[in-house]
Chains A and B, each alone.
Chain A
Amino acid sequence: MDNIIKNFKGFLIDQGFDAVETDYEQRGYHLEVVLTVTQVREFAKKAYELGFYLVFVAGFQVLADPETPSPHSGLAVVYQYARHDRQYRIKACALVPDSLEIPSISDIYQGADWHERETRDFYGIVFSGHHNLKPLLMADMDVDVHPLLKEEAKLKSLDAVSWPSEAPESTE
């Protein structure tokens, strides 16, 4: 793999990010980064400086588990970054705290603007610092309707919807 990319992982770990190399054949991305809320903007800035583009911003919902070391609301935001010059994709994931607030990256990546508005529409995640966080797909009167939020009975835990952690080790 390219030296720049190899260095990037080491660079991220040096910066205090939780980065794990993954099997691209299996998962479709090379690097998985778990972000804390404070790291979201920091990571986006680094990725922007290193020439990554933003593929998408999306949300998902899992069963909130108060017993985990980092309690969360059950909502999470996923960012995917990639490069044009070589095949390299990064999945960055941040669990949303109970306040449902997560910093916006729309001033770093302008393409995140509508993605964040859409995610707010569907899940009610508030992207603080967004310049225009009004409904994008939903009608203005339905500002409090979040259609993709599920009933608790239908939710699965984060482990159940994640890849098993042994998988990348066995392929390496």
Chain B
Amino acid sequence: MTTAAAPPAEAAKAPRTRFRAPELSPRQNLVVAVAVIGFAIILPLFLDSGGNVMNNLVLAAAYVVMALGLNIIVGFAGLLDLGYVAFFAIGAYVMGYFGSGFWSNAGGGEGVHFLVGGPVENLPGIHFNFLIVLVLAVIATTIAGIIIGLPTLRLRGDYIAIVTLAFGEIIGRIAINGDEIKLFGGTLTAGRQGITPVDKVDLPFFERFQSLNLRPWYWLALAMVVLVLFVNFRLRDSRLGRAWIALREDEVAAASMGVPLVKTKLLAYGTGAAFGGMSGAFLASYLNTVNADQFQFAFSIFILAMIILGGLGSIWGVVLGAVVLSAINNYFIPDVFNDVPSKIGLDFDLTELSFGIFGFLLVIMMILRPEGLLPQRRRQLELEEGVGAEDAIEAKL
């Protein structure tokens, strides 16, 4: 019995000796942000503009946007969302609806065009300017976030996770089967065939983006990251951000201190969802397809793993987690280590194992640093001292 009791006590002490992210003052934070973003801006100038590394950087930036969005829901407000893929899907479909030839008989077969130039202005289908699509995607996902949030208002912890998971699966399924649903002379979605091609990003004062020059894509994604980072920092330090954190620590205490639960929770869902939609619309244009097979449960987990790996609620941690996981998943496993087996004389294809390697890395990283790579100091204190009610229950085991 004594041996069984000893390890948790040691485990609780162990993180104290480890590296921990320093608490940054707002000024230091600004310096870090400027340095990191400045480095990120000039990075592509040293890389092949159409190469694989560039491609992975664009994807990583888009995932950072999503991870920071989910961080608001899970990290700040403590509402475990396992269906974040729903917002990716909705954002992507908004892009597909308003920026492709999907509605081929819109405008009597002539197409509907709004503030677009270049080659698409004569194509059938609905074609809006990318910025307008982005705004529409944000609106649509915010509403979806609030609708998904509504049934979870009365629930706690894992039950919220289950409801969001169910919504994510329902939307994913509707995307797959949507080609059976007739709507306005077309179908609801293009199912597994996918909506393709999707309009390339078309910004005012810039040339339409090309699929061979990835730098503009990267800089646009980076601009979204900067915007989302700014919103994240400002929100975290605002009244609303403090309300979210209060909610995460103790719902009953927060409510009795005058935090409006319904409004606060729904704002978390809405804001988090909006970023998912933004990134979703961007990815749809970048990947040039809106395919139902993209919207799987594993994607929700992929994004969730980024923020847990980085350190829940820690903004820089989440950025790091997103970059690390996206690099592992899209670059290291398929490209870098793929020829390792043949070099050491084994005969198998590593890509067949990519799923398992990803899972293995998740397990290893969580066991080595369960609090994340760059844990938020505030959160870490709670965990060690068992201030939060739920954490106290965990600490007992």
Tell me whether A and B are bound partners. Answer: no
Q: Which residues of A pack against B, CB within 8 Å?
A: none
